[in-house]
Amino acid sequence: MLATRAGPTNAPALLDDLAEALEDDSDPMGPLLDAMLNVDDALTVSQLEGKTAFTEELGARAAALVSVWPERVLALSTFAEMRIATTRSDHGVRALWRAVQQAPAELLAAHLPAARTARTAAPVTPRHPVPPRRPRGSPVVRHFDLPRQSVRAAAASTVSTTVEVGEGAWLHSTPSQCVLELELAGAGTTDVWIEVRRRGEEAILTTRTILVRHSRAAVEARLGPASIWEDLAREVDHPLEALEFQLVVRTRRDD
């Protein structure tokens, strides 16, 4: 039974079930805990089968979902502590339950008056299409692949450059700051993060959350200095040329 739930083809269904349970208002110890345990089961089986890339990506994406709805998992903190205490430090399920442990901090950050911070993780929906869950409040997730030449130019540039990375999206780079500018259609909440992968591979090596500033017609995501790309490469211990960088933008409309 578990083995049939653990394959890569079921990852979209597992994540979709988890997102729907997180969006719901029912008791967290009911459908939500069931959905999280289904992901836990899949991670455990895939790790036992040596499917490292699948385990890492599913764990990262599930943790990202949890970080978007921190208020929903507060009641699961004791269970998360128990689960982490009974697994090895390299076990794939720990990313999921660590996200539950971090929920109080995520909830506090979301209410700080200084700025709204982007949550960790990876997109709400995998790259494979899945049926929409509900029309109300459904988030829009966009992915912007950063051309390698643009990343190298930004990392080495001593002047200002602007690159269009997608429709309604521009990356402005100076030696002191990289800023992603997004056209904003209507009011809503926008979260931005960077995903880092090896070229040609699906597994996420690391993510970086981005500070977001809203204005009436646009969103600015301040990535940090131009050295951010080299910093991320050092973080994953890979040369810059071996990596792919993707900006992920998640927007929830105010209906």
The yes/no answer on whether domain 140-253 falls in CATH 2.60.210 is: yes
Q: How confident is the model at residue 116 (pLDDT cuts 50, 70, 90)?
A: very low
- Distance CA(84)–CA(126), nearest Å, equals 25
pLDDT at 141: 80
Report the half-sphere exposure of 161 (CA within 13 A, side-chain side): 17
- To 5 degrees, how large is the angle CA 2–CA 133–CA 202? 55
Q: How confident is the model at residue 117 (pLDDT cuts 50, 70, 90)?
A: very low
Please, are residues 35 and 42 in contact by the beta-carbon 8 Å criterion?
no
What is the tens place of the pLDDT at every residue in 177-210? Answer: 788 888 765 556 777 888 889 888 888 888 887 7
* pLDDT above 60: residue 255: no
* pLDDT above 60: residue 109: no
Please, are residues 188 and 141 in contact by the beta-carbon 8 Å criterion?
no
- Distance CA(20)–CA(2), nearest Å, equals 21
Sheet containing 169-173, strands listed edge to edge, beginning at the edge strand earlier in sequence? 140-146, 243-253, 188-198, 204-214, 218-224, 178-183, 169-173, 161-166
Q: How confident is the model at residue 154 (pLDDT cuts 50, 70, 90)?
A: low
What contacts 93, CB < 8 A, 6 or more positions away? 40, 43, 44, 59, 83, 87
* Domains of the chain by residue range: 2-110, 140-253
- Distance CA(188)–CA(208), nearest Å, equals 22
- Distance CA(200)–CA(243), nearest Å, equals 9
* pLDDT above 80: residue 38: yes
